[in-house]
């Protein structure tokens, strides 16, 4: 069994590796001594800038200077693992917190029982990539472009959930070593409260087990946290996400 500290590191590394992998075909990876950032133009995702370590006033000012030279709107994720409340530096420097996520993990042991409410397709062609990209914004309120899927579907698994051949939900599965990162699990508004998100999660978890993963990691929204706790996930840390006002 992995220690809590190992799982915290693995969760963050899976998430940042996903951003890097998504941005690579667009030459959007920029690594630095203090922070890295990933950018895809004409897309809302990933467009993240994150600090390697706990933040300082000097490092926030360096990041702010870089952001002001770019046209893209970046999200700055802050992990509350330091016990320093240094995110206050972001708030005092003109950044606004937009949403929070809870990083969670689950040892993968036994497959989950599906209720066969949905059919699933792992994106492998332009038609399905467009269907996935078309419904994603209605579930999440931001875009992941069809071009992103087409250029990265060989290294990132994008999963489309269908009911009677109509797209109703999405998921992303991205494995780093023994860790399966589960991202982008969403259901279009008109199909919520029918147990479909749970069915999508169980399918993705079973696929992760089939692919040889030993643990699942994710970053839960407030809306999704209850489902993940029900499935057995444990909380690890909170990510506070900021944008420049």
Q: What pLDDT, in 10s, does the model give residues 55-83?
A: 999 999 999 999 999 989 999 999 999 99
The span from the CA of 148 to the CA of 165, in Å, is: 23
Query: What count of Cα atoms within 13 Å lies in the side-chain half-sphere of residue 31?
Result: 5
Beta strands 35-38; 48-51: pairing state? antiparallel
Q: Which pair of structure tokens corresponds to residue 203?
A: 């399918």
The span from the CA of 229 to the CA of 164, in Å, is: 29
Say which residues have a Cβ less than 8 Å from residue 224's Cβ, sequence separation at least 6.
Answer: 185, 197
245 residues of the chain, pLDDT tens digit each: 899 999 999 999 999 999 999 999 999 999 999 999 999 988 999 999 999 999 999 999 999 999 999 989 999 999 999 999 999 999 999 999 999 999 999 999 999 999 988 999 999 999 999 999 999 999 999 999 999 999 999 999 999 999 999 999 999 999 999 999 999 999 999 999 999 999 999 999 999 999 999 999 999 998 899 999 999 999 999 999 999 97
The span from the CA of 89 to the CA of 242, in Å, is: 11
Dihedrals phi, psi of 212, to nearest 5 degrees? 95, 10
The span from the CA of 50 to the CA of 37, in Å, is: 6
Structural domains in the chain, CATH included, are 4-99 (no CATH), 107-239 (3.40.630.30)
């Amino acid at each position: 069994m992995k220690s809590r500290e190992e799982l915290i590191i693995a969760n963050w590394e899976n998430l940042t590796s996903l951003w890097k992998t998504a941005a690579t075909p667009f030459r959007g990876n920029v690594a630095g001594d203090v922070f890295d950032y990933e950018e895809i133009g004409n897309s809302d995702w990933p467009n993240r800038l994150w600090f390697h370590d706990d933040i300082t006033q000097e490092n926030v000012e360096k990041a702010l200077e870089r952001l002001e030279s770019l046209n893209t709107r970046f999200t700055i994720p802050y992990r509350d693992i330091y016990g320093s409340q240094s995110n206050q530096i972001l708030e005092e420097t003109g950044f606004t917190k937009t949403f929070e996520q809870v990083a969670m993990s689950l040892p993968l042991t036994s497959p989950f029982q599906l209720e066969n409410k949905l059919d699933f397709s792992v994106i492998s062609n332009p038609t399905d990539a467009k269907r996935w990209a078309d419904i994603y914004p209605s579930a999440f309120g931001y875009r992941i472009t069809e071009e992103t899927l087409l250029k990265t579907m060989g290294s990132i698994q994008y999963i489309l959930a269908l009911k009677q051949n109509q797209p109703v939900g999405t998921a992303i599965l991205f494995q780093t070593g023994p860790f399966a990162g589960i991202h982008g699990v969403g259901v279009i508004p008109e199909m919520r409260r029918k147990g479909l998100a749970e069915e999508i999660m169980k399918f993705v978890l079973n696929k992760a087990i089939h692919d040889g993963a030993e643990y699942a990691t994710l970053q839960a929204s407030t809306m999704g946290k209850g489902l993940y706790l029900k499935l057995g996930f444990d909380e690890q840390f909170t990510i506070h996400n900021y944008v420049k006002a």
